[in-house]
Amino acid sequence: MKRVLLAAGLLLALSASAVAQVTLRVGDQKGNARAVMEAAGVLKDVPYTIEWKEFVAAAPLLEALGAGAIETGLVGDAPFTFAAASGVPVKAIAAIRQTQEGLAMLVPESSTIKSFDELKGKKIATGRGSIGHQLVLAALESRGWTTNDIQLVFLSPADAKVAYTQGSVDAWSTWEPYVSQEEVLFRSRRIITGEGLTPGLSFQVATPAAIKDKRVALEDFVQRLAAARVWSLGNVESYAETWGRLMNIPPAVPLNWLKRAKVRIVPVDDAVVADEQTTIDLYTRTGLIKQRLDAAGILDRSFSAAIAKGAGL
């Protein structure tokens, strides 16, 4: 399939020799960035080395970043906020916007539960500080409930899947691709999504050290990622096929996810700052973080030109 972007258009106006010796250690979740960049063909001429590391969720990715094992990666706004409040040295350098239909609370097809209102007093599995946790908190607040009105069970995605399958919990608040896996392969139902409840942001994050010492490589990387996301909007099937091959999952799963997600990379702007502050304030009100953060202080706008170039803005 024809690739929409040539290498020459992706490189920044700097000599390749300046970054030839650089290794950029990139954290990814379930083949997300890597799959779309491979499918779009934007990794063929990278003038530096990318060392990919795969994670099952944002929390271990951010732990690795805090420990210096990686330098950049993709995470949701909720775990990013939680990490920043916990003192992890991290900044968001690009924003990812998508629909929130893939952030959902699931129940098995056989469950009698039809809506979130019927979860009062029930057990909901999710990851502490995850976007699934964020959805639970936002849904509770929208109804004037508190965490005392439900039973939160904090589990990793793998453990949550086991508990959910065995019926040890009544619902699972999770994200893609887990939502689509359950819908497509196991016929779970979504009883509430993040639409209208959460800002729907994810971030490409990086350590301050990487921003300082590997800026050229980071700028080039986010430019390529933005370009790949533009390509993916018109080539969902090709992206889903690549993603499925990398993850060894039937392509029907990513196709279900990607058709509705409409994922795109955008620069950090006033709207992104405002939406991140919304997440921070939710976490502060609910006591998940103890000190109020300033969104502008943990977001880095200086990669905007590279992102805009890659996205054709």
| pLDDT score, position 13 | 42
What pTM was computed for the model? 0.88
Mean pLDDT of all residues in the chain? 92
Per-residue confidence band for 17, with pLDDT thresholds at 50, 70 and 90: low
For residue 214, give the amino acid letter: K
Rounded distance between C-alpha atoms, residue 177 and residue 191, angstroms: 17
Write out the E strands in 147-243.
Answer: 151-154, 171-174, 189-193, 201-206
For 91-114, what is each residue's pLDDT tens digit? 999 999 999 999 999 999 999 999
Q: Cis link prior to 177 (omega < 30° from 0)?
A: yes
Fold matches, 7-98+200-311 and 104-193: yes
For 234-262, what is each residue's pLDDT tens digit? 999 999 998 999 889 999 999 999 999 99
Buried b / exposed e across 197-215, counting CB within 10 Å, b at 16+?
bbbbbbbbbbbeebbeebb
| pLDDT score, position 6 | 40
**What does the domain layout of the chain look like in residue ranges?**
7-98+200-311, 104-193
Residue 292, token pair as written in the block: 């109020």
Per CATH, domain 7-98+200-311 is 3.40.50.10860? no
Residue 87, token pair as written in the block: 């003192």
pLDDT reading at 288 higher than 90: no
Instruction: Please give the C-alpha separations between residue 212 and each of 66, 206, 272, in angstroms, as whole numbers.
Output: 16, 10, 22
Which 3 state secondary structure label does DSSP give 120?
coil
Query: Mean pLDDT, to the nearest integer, of 161-176?
Result: 97
240 and 39 in contact (C-beta within 8 Å)? no
| pLDDT score, position 220 | 97
Fold type of domain 104-193: D-Maltodextrin-Binding Protein; domain 2 (3.40.190)
